[in-house]
Amino acid sequence: MLLRALTAVSLLFVSTSLAQAQSWEQVGESEGIVVWQRPVHGTSLVEFRGRGLVKGNIRRVLAVLADHDRKTEWMHQCVASKLIQAFEPGRLILYNRTGSPYPFISDRDVVIEAQVQFWPEKKQIRIDAWNVENARVPELNGVVRMPKLIVSWILVQKDDKLTEVTYEVQADPGGSLPKWLVNLASKNLPLKSIVNLRTQLGKDYAQQLALVEASFDWDSVGM
């Protein structure tokens, strides 16, 4: 299991390194959130990044992101989200299903492995997630399993009331959707995700915040 996890992280690093060879191009700014794009090596798909400030300390932001059962409340078009397996604090297998707004386009779903990393010297928390196969979650009839999804949330503590949030997404929803349409849809994800996160931070997350604070050694990471 450890070897498979290390291999997945290594492949993610290689994929990220290839993408970093391409420079980011700013493509929009709204509500204090800047959005960039860059081409993905070896494909016509485009990777997108959004960055903006949210009201809430870094622990509270992590608590919202870690509450998988409530992601249907704020993640764009998310109709199902659940924990499949927890290996240790900060390393999980998750399931997510995205609903289609059109009857002629199937819903998409994906199984992802997520890893939380702390960077105390940068006052930063990074959550990386990538699609995996898992026998516990078979494919569903009428739902397209995404062949590729790489997502990163990067949280930087500004003070005890503000956190800078960066959201990066590289997605291939599979099926017969043309790549230009996929890119058009993905372009809005960073902006919508951060705007929705701002709203969600105003809701009650006391129970999840207590769980997050108990799961990690916050004194050692200085946040």
Measured CA to CA, the distance from residue 117 to residue 195 in angstroms comes to: 24
Share of the chain above pLDDT 90, in %: 73
Residue 121 region, left (φ>0) first, then alpha (ψ -120 to 50), else beta? alpha
Per-residue pLDDT, 5:
44
Q: Which residue has the tokens 């009857």?
A: 103
Confirm if 32 and 52 have CB atoms less than 8 A apart: yes
Residue 1 has pLDDT above 70, yes or no: no
Please tell me whether residue 132 adopts helix, strand or coil conformation: coil
Q: How far apart are the first and last CA of the chain?
A: 30
CATH of domain 2-221: 3.30.530.20
Segments making up each domain of the chain, as ranges:
2-221
The mean per-residue pLDDT over the stretch 79-107 comes to 94
pLDDT on residue 222: 78
pLDDT (average), residues 75-97:
95
Check whether 112 has a pLDDT greater than 90.
yes
Higher pLDDT, 137 or 180: 137
Main-chain phi, psi angles of 43, to 5 degrees: -150, 165
Contact 50, 29 (CB under 8 A): no
pTM: 0.87
Contacts 24+ apart (CB under 8 A), 135-140: 136/84, 136/85, 136/93, 137/84, 137/95, 137/111, 140/109
Pairwise CA distance, residues 159 & 81, whole Å: 30
Read off the pLDDT of residues 158-170 as tens digits, 9 standing for 90 and up: 999 999 999 999 9
